[in-house]
Structure 1
Amino acid sequence: MNSTENQKPQPQKPTNQPNKFSQWLKTSITARMMMVGALILVLLIPLSYVNILISERSYRQKDVVNEINQKWGNEVLIYGPIIKLPYKSYSETSTFNEKTKTYLKETKTLINYAYIFPEKLHVDAAVKSKTMYLGNFESAVFTSDMALTGRYHPINLEGKGIKNEDIIWEKSSILFKTSNLKGIKNEMAIVINDKSYAFETSYNENSSLNNLDELETAFLNEDLLKGDFNFNMNVTYDGSKQIQVIPVGKTTTMEMTSNWADPGFIGNYSPDDETRSITKDGFKVDWKVLAINRAFSQQYLNQVPSLSQFAFGTKFVVLVDEYQKSERSAKYGFLVIGLTFLIFFLIQTMSKIHIHAFQYLMIGLALIMFYTLLVSISEHSNFLKAYLIAGVSVILLITLYSKSMLKNFKFSALIGLSLTALYAFIYVIIQLENYALLVGSVGLFLILAIVMFVSRKIDWNNG
């Protein structure tokens, strides 16, 4: 038998058939939509890491700002001056004597203190602010020259049930409570009727009230408190963040001037609108607080009350720093990725140009790189310059990549213009405060209208 006749037929190699899944992705609109949606969800993972990075750098900035402030001086809160006046009180006890079958009465004399606030208090604060840097981070610090003047009326505690003969006039003193004790740059003294009384640090169980340190003078002249008297004192602070005053005067006024262009007025009372002046070179404002405006009295027994909730003043901080802007920008990352992918999806659907999943992924990663560039560059420059550099870099990269991918200058130019408009729109929203929601809502409505108009002729039933 012929050997050729005994040979079995060899199986033929299959010809290359198109992959069904790949073909489905190319031809089915539903499949492409599912692929784009899945890629957007995947890209949320690196986008979340970008938000973590921004938060970490923001916390690092806060640590550095606190370090700067600790070295220069912390926030300033002044509480005083306050007269500290000792007086006698009496405690009577009865003891039963078994032998005489009578009660023996014993009277003990106790020393307590009354604290009296002034009738008038005026604070004149001249604040020179500047920005201090440590590495790439900055903090607003200031030097404040504060002059306190005021007046006391004769002291009378009979309304508190204390007789004049029980008051120990010769051991009265002046208290002054303040935060940022180490920021004081001058020897402190209060001048009363042309006589100066120096302050010294003092401590008792109440001296840490609201983290305030206590200063106290030596004993005052015995006859001083029995008549009207004026006082004045000066204190110079190196501080940061804010200056606040507790309105201890029955009538308290404060005038503050500074070269800081963006003040924030804080606390329980607002400055006078008629005299308020804020320009790019600084501000000048006045406050006036009457006794009827606050819920505390002028005299207290036994201890000085906590009154920090009634403080008012000015905040010296950068209102919106670079990390806050970067964080707000990153919140729109999902919108940027989604709209960019939507543009490519519409181009792919309308022009029948195939775009691979890997190409979508590269475009998405380029969009995420915008935020890392923004954060890193803004640490060495201002936010606008960083935003421009990062935006132009990413737009050029994606435009050139789409030119090589789509083989069409018209489509790549459309993508470049769309990204430019989108980044410009987000920058405007970031800069706005009161109208951010309104502008954002109107902008998204217009984007939705454009997408609906462009996609109206697409046959969505095909796949």
Structure 2
Amino acid sequence: MAFTDRVERTPAIKFAFAIFIAALLAIPLLTVYALNYDRQSQSETARNSIAEGWGGPQVIAGPLLVIPYQADATETVTEGGRQVTRVNRVWRELRIAPDIADIRSTLSPERRQRSIYEAVVYAAKTSGRARFALPADLARYGVTADALSYDRAELRFGLSDARGLYGPPPSVSVDGARRLLQPGKGPEATGGSGFFAALDATPLRERAVTVDFTYDFRGNASLTLAPLAGDTRWTVTSPWRHPSFQGGFLPTERRIGDDGFSASWRVGNLALGRSLVDSDAPAAVSADRSGYVAGGAVGDHQAGVTLVSPVDLYSQVNRSVKYGFLFIGFTFMAFLMFDIVGGVRVSAIEYLLVGTGLVLFFVMLLAFAEVIGFTAAYLVAGGAIVALLTAYSAAVLKSRRRAGFIAGLLIALYAVLYVLLSLEAYSLLIGSLLLFAALASVMYLTRDLEWGGRPAAPPTDA
């Protein structure tokens, strides 16, 4: 029994016990991390469910003028053991992008909720004008102007989730004459989803053709443009105050204020790395394969804007859990100093209970944040844990003054953590300074401590 008491009073052994228990608490911390990930996945599923039928993250493209033509295709087959070459007459498509396209989109966002989950959806009004011209050097693309079937031309528009079309039917006019629209045949940038209009493009042989269009659609989270024209100008306005601009092209002009944002892009086909004219002939390169990504993802040759929530509570909780060891380390160090310097016995069970309370903070933070928001949840969870551990420390440390020190330490830690979460760019700097201050304090307080045995007696003056 005496041996046990001696071992328990050894500062090095107590220090090792504190480290061991702190390491054990990594298991519940990782569990909280996994719980946050699971709740985030449930939130994503709920948001997708809320937006179902409304329209997904939208990608728009076009207009694109497609004119069919007939060409000879050579085919080699084996007949009777001999190689036979045949020449067949096949239909191909000549795709012409506009030399100028001016597009304007207005986003009207809306928050939609189901239970404790929320999704940001929007209604978009898009209108624009495009000008098409037949290139003078058409023969270099392997086709002549006389070979084109102008009366079978089509104007194609892309919308990645055509279910989002709503309100008045889309309107497309060619030189002032309105055209009847049909579903499908969107550019490859939108996965073939969209709508098209049949027209007689014979006037294109003599002059440029102007196309005016307007259509309304719904979507959620983001809107992306896959530019095709020789000079694409895209303007987006919205009352949403938290946009995130993404893609290979960022706005040339943008303004963000309390009344929302406006942004303008200008992209040329030289930046896209593609010609204004191509065909679906085997030797040709598709006009729609210049890095475009359908389905809402923003590719290198696209421009997009995302309506982000000002506070992503799961991301905030995730980052706060990563600082869990900082909380445990500082608090355990305070108890250890009271133990080996102040002479107050702190058992392994008491370390474990205090550590459990510190881990419980992150569980409460996640639970309350889903209901009342991150900041309010932080105050509620932090206040509850500070009150609990202060009361428990008063009993463990046999002193209200020492418990007050623990309360002050916890309040300071929670305040610093909130600052770290707000100032992500300086979190490493602040965290390293805190660790340096903690190490310096421990080194100072234990400078005369005999780690292998009982604390050394203070020196006496000669």
Superposition pairs for residues 1-400 of structure 1, below 5 Å?
A: 18=1, 20-25=3-8, 27-91=9-73, 108-156=88-136, 157-185=138-166, 186-202=168-184, 211-224=191-204, 226-272=206-252, 275-302=253-280, 304-307=287-290, 308=292, 309=299, 310-318=301-309, 320-400=311-391
Cα distance in 2 for partners of 1:39, 1:160 equals 74
Report the secondary structure of 1:324's partner residue: helix
Cα distance in 1 for partners of 2:180, 2:330 equals 69
Q: Is the 8 A contact 1:155 1:227 kept in 2?
A: no
Deviation at 1:69, TM superposition (A): 2.4
Q: Is the 8 A contact 2:71 2:90 kept in 1?
A: yes
1:260-311 CA-partner distances (Å, limit 9, x unpaired):
1111111111112xx4211133111111112332211101101553241311
Shift in CA distance, 226/134, structure 1 to aligned 2, threshold 3 Å: farther
1:411-439 CA-partner distances (Å, limit 9, x unpaired):
11111001111111111111223222222
Cα distance in 1 for partners of 2:352, 2:150 equals 83
The residue identity in structure 2 corresponding to 1:431 is S
Q: Is the 8 A contact 2:203 2:209 kept in 1?
A: no
Deviation at 1:255, TM superposition (A): 1.1
Q: Is the 8 A contact 2:157 2:187 kept in 1?
A: no
TM-score by length of 2: 0.88
Cα distance in 1 for partners of 2:254, 2:387 equals 48
Shift in CA distance, 77/225, structure 1 to aligned 2, threshold 3 Å: farther
Q: Is the 8 A contact 1:126 1:257 kept in 2?
A: yes
1:364-403 CA-partner distances (Å, limit 9, x unpaired):
1111110111010001011111011111110111111111
Deviation at 1:198, TM superposition (A): 2.6
Deviation at 1:106, TM superposition (A): 7.7
Cα distance in 2 for partners of 1:392, 1:128 equals 39
1:429-450 CA-partner distances (Å, limit 9, x unpaired):
1122322222222232223223
Q: Is the 8 A contact 1:79 1:246 kept in 2?
A: yes
Structure 1, unpaired ranges of 5+: 1-17, 96-103
Cα distance in 2 for partners of 1:295, 1:177 equals 20
Highest CA radius of gyration, 1 or 2?
Answer: 1
1:65-100 CA-partner distances (Å, limit 9, x unpaired):
2212223211111111011101121247899xxxxx
TM-score by length of 1: 0.88
Partner of 1:452: 443
Structure 2, unpaired ranges of 5+: 78-83, 281-285, 293-298, 455-462
The residue identity in structure 2 corresponding to 1:300 is D
The residue identity in structure 2 corresponding to 1:54 is N
Cα distance in 1 for partners of 2:49, 2:188 equals 23
Report the secondary structure of 1:288's partner residue: strand
Q: Is the 8 A contact 2:233 2:264 kept in 1?
A: yes
Q: Is the 8 A contact 1:155 1:225 kept in 2?
A: no
Cα distance in 1 for partners of 2:76, 2:33 equals 73
Shift in CA distance, 324/287, structure 1 to aligned 2, threshold 3 Å: same
Shift in CA distance, 164/212, structure 1 to aligned 2, threshold 3 Å: closer
The share of aligned pairs that are identical, in percent, is 24
Deviation at 1:22, TM superposition (A): 3.7
| Greater mean alpha carbon deviation, residues 36-45 or residues 344-353 | 36-45
Cα distance in 2 for partners of 1:246, 1:45 equals 46
Report the secondary structure of 1:456's partner residue: coil
Report the secondary structure of 1:239's partner residue: strand
Cα distance in 1 for partners of 2:53, 2:149 equals 42
1:112-157 CA-partner distances (Å, limit 9, x unpaired):
1100000101111111112221211112211111112121224552
Shift in CA distance, 451/106, structure 1 to aligned 2, threshold 3 Å: closer
Deviation at 1:223, TM superposition (A): 2.7
Cα distance in 1 for partners of 2:354, 2:101 equals 65
Cα distance in 1 for partners of 2:181, 2:447 equals 80
Deviation at 1:175, TM superposition (A): 1.0
Q: Is the 8 A contact 2:32 2:363 kept in 1?
A: yes
Q: Is the 8 A contact 1:188 1:198 kept in 2?
A: no
Q: CA RMSD in A?
A: 2.3
Cα distance in 2 for partners of 1:209, 1:287 equals 18
Cα distance in 1 for partners of 2:423, 2:340 equals 36
Report the secondary structure of 1:72's partner residue: coil
The residue identity in structure 2 corresponding to 1:30 is A
The residue identity in structure 1 corresponding to 2:7 is W
